[in-house]
Amino acid sequence: MIDRTIITPVILSGGSGTRLWPMSRAEQPKQFLPLTATASMFALTLARIADPTRFSDPIIVAGARHQALIEAQLDGRDATLILEPSARNTAPAIALAAIACEGLMLVMPSDHVIDDVPAFHAAIEAAMPLVASGWLVTFGIEPTGPETGYGYIEAGDALITGVHRVARFVEKPPLAEAQAMLARGGHFWNGGIFLFRGDAYLTALGEHAPAMLESANAAMNMATREGRVVLPDAAAFAASPSDSIDYAVMERAERVAVVPVSMGWSDIGSWDALYELGEKDEQANVIGGDVVAVESAGNLIRSDGLRISVSGVSDLIIIASGNDIMIVPRTQSQAVKALMSKRAS
């Protein structure tokens, strides 16, 4: 008998977090860094699913290069670790986990912040009846501004209390469209968090992306296992098309629902986002590490070791990590990617 009340958390740790360079790097992406608190976002993600009456040990889907980091940050907690032999985006990654588990799956990125965990848990509870009957549920974040960096979900009719049929998915919109959606209401950010039965997901994947399902099944059939570490077959997984769960499944499946939720969510998608979340001093600086700031205001200044001393500077992002120092104006943190690629080339 499959337990219909216990949820298997599936934590996706595939991102490389290039927008938070130089602290976030391919070998140590942002989810493993204590950027928002004294614990890393990965550790905070684990802490959200600690209640054993609701959650089983998690399945973590990650790149092989991060195995040691993950095992260190699991801090003794039991988990299944599925190491992706190659990056094929979220739909195939979630398929590997769905094949490895039975029952309910809560799929979460490892690099998001959720300040109001009770609100998150309440949203999960609201979705449980529909999930049990095979619906694919996504969580729609109440927007706090006309962000153009997220996809949106328009909620349709209510199915049960707090859960709506998805009317449509909206690609990352231009600003005017984002403002219009905000004004109309009923539109939510797509936060990339999902709840469904594993078999329901695999069935939908087989309908809408059968080559992906076939590759995932082959990769898991030929997987090698070392304790709780699962190594899917590299050649079989490499044959999979690469796509997100949104494009491959959620936007195509029939029974897709959204739970609107306001829970202090952020994907920490930029240094600007980290500034907005951070605790401000009297001059509206957000400071972390060995920093002296004199007559300086509105800066985000962080160091993981080097000593930073500034005077008379305003509204800058100043990040020191390892041997790298990066400086860009606030609100221009999209420039980080270009700087990083210049450094990598």
Write out the residues near a second copy by the rule CB under 8 A.
Answer: 22, 292, 294-295, 303, 305-313, 316, 318, 320, 323-329, 332, 335-336, 338-340, 342-343
Nearer to a second copy, 90 or 303 (CB): 303
Min dist CB 40 to a second copy, Å, is 24
Nearer to a second copy, 250 or 310 (CB): 310
Nearer to a second copy, 135 or 271 (CB): 271
Min dist CB 175 to a second copy, Å, is 20
Min dist CB 328 to a second copy, Å, is 5
Min dist CB 207 to a second copy, Å, is 45
265 Cβ neighbours under 8 A, 6+ residues apart: 112, 113, 114, 115, 141, 189, 191
Nearer to a second copy, 40 or 303 (CB): 303
Q: Which pairs with CB-CB distance under 8 Å and at least 24 residues apart come from 289-294?
A: 289/320
Nearer to a second copy, 64 or 294 (CB): 294
Min dist CB 321 to a second copy, Å, is 10
Min dist CB 272 to a second copy, Å, is 13
Min dist CB 150 to a second copy, Å, is 24
User: Where are any strands of DSSP class E within 122-231?
Assistant: 136-141, 152-160, 163-170, 187-197, 224-226, 229-231
Report the alpha-carbon distance of residue 332 to residue 272 in Å, rounded.
8
Nearer to a second copy, 215 or 303 (CB): 303
Tell which residue, 192, 232, 234, 198, has the closest CA to residue 90: 192
Residue appearing with tokens 């988990």: 79
At position 321, the amino acid (one-letter code) is S
Min dist CB 216 to a second copy, Å, is 39
134 Cβ neighbours under 8 A, 6+ residues apart: 197, 200, 255
At position 18, the amino acid (one-letter code) is T
Nearer to a second copy, 83 or 301 (CB): 301
Q: What does the angle CA 205 – CA 206 – CA 211 come to, to the nearest 5 degrees?
A: 95
Contact 22, 303 (CB under 8 A): no
Min dist CB 319 to a second copy, Å, is 10
Tell which residue, 136, 138, 56, 63, has the closest CA to residue 102: 56
Tell which residue, 179, 147, 6, 13, has the closest CA to residue 82: 13
Tell which residue, 108, 121, 98, has the closest CA to residue 197: 98
Nearer to a second copy, 172 or 307 (CB): 307
Nearer to a second copy, 266 or 303 (CB): 303
Contact 111, 98 (CB under 8 A): no
Contact 302, 288 (CB under 8 A): yes
C-alpha distance from residue 129 to each of 5, 153, 167 (Å): 10, 21, 20
